Amino acid sequence: MSDSQSQVRLFPPNNTMPFRSRIPEELMCRWCPPFEDSAKPLVSVFVTSAAFTQFTEHSRIDLENEVGGGLVGSRHVDARTEEQFVLIEGVIPARFTRQGTTFLTFTQDTLVAMNDELEECFPERQLVGWYHTHPGMGVFLSHFDLWLHDHFFPEPWQVALVIEPHSEIGGFFIRQKKGNIDAQRYFGFYEILTQAGLSVVAWSNMHPEGEASSEIGDGDDE
């Protein structure tokens, strides 16, 4: 492979048109953060139950060091409201990373491997963002996280998910209309429930829309 080809593979063109779709309202649960969201994200985030399970399970494999990966899915424009949203359908755990207790670095090899796996295993899908863990820390983007996000996931609609695996909390960082991102304020998301209509989300910092946060988790078998 020539250098120019590898460059293309490292940063594949993300100029494919979004699908015109209808926001799926059936079998859906909106999860809200604990604070009022006065800011409006450029895109809404929808997550399948399968994808949520995948990044949650990956987040638990190392409770000392940060782990992460790519969020695989598709980009949409709602056919009725013209609102943009991304649908996260799976994950690609990152390889060739450098990580420690308080940092995670994607390398060029990480991105090449991620895009290779995307092409091979998820044809017609895109990297709609990335995720990583903050073991024992809060849900925020560090200066380095912001750098990584801007350099490796620069499209306005690409999102960053941070998960704290000890307390099982998480949140999505999404750019706003002017391209700015608040490193301390995460957004909620829409969960696509399982076919049986069940939820797999168990983040204690989020509550279903219309319910107070204290009312979630009425099953106490965990």
Closer CB to Zn ion, 16 or 102, in the complex: 102
Closer CB to Zn ion, 89 or 145, in the complex: 145
Query: Quick one: which segment of 4-12, 29-37, 109-117, 139-147 binds Zn ion (CB under 5 A)?
Result: 139-147
Residue 75 — φ and ψ, nearest 5°?
-110, 140
Residues pairing with 131 in the sheet: 69, 161
How does 171-208 read in b/e, with b if 16+ C-beta sit within 10 Å?
Answer: bbbbbeeeeebeeebbbbbbbbbeeeeebebebebbbb
Give the x-and-dash track for 145-174 against Zn ion (CB under 5 A): x-----------------------------
8-47 positions binding Zn ion, by CB under 5 A: none
Residue 142 near Zn ion by CB under 5 A: yes
3-state percent helix, strand, coil for the chain, nearest multiple of 5: 20, 30, 50
Least Å from the CB of residue 66 to Zn ion: 6
Residue 191 near Zn ion by CB under 5 A: no
The pair of three-digit structure tokens given for residue 218, joined into one six-digit string: 């009425």
Closest residue to Zn ion in the complex (CB)? 145
Return the amino acid letter for 63: L
Query: Quick one: which segment of 53-61, 117-125, 138-146, 211-219 binds Zn ion (CB under 5 A)?
Result: 138-146
Q: For binding to Zn ion (CB under 5 A), which residues are involved?
A: 142, 145
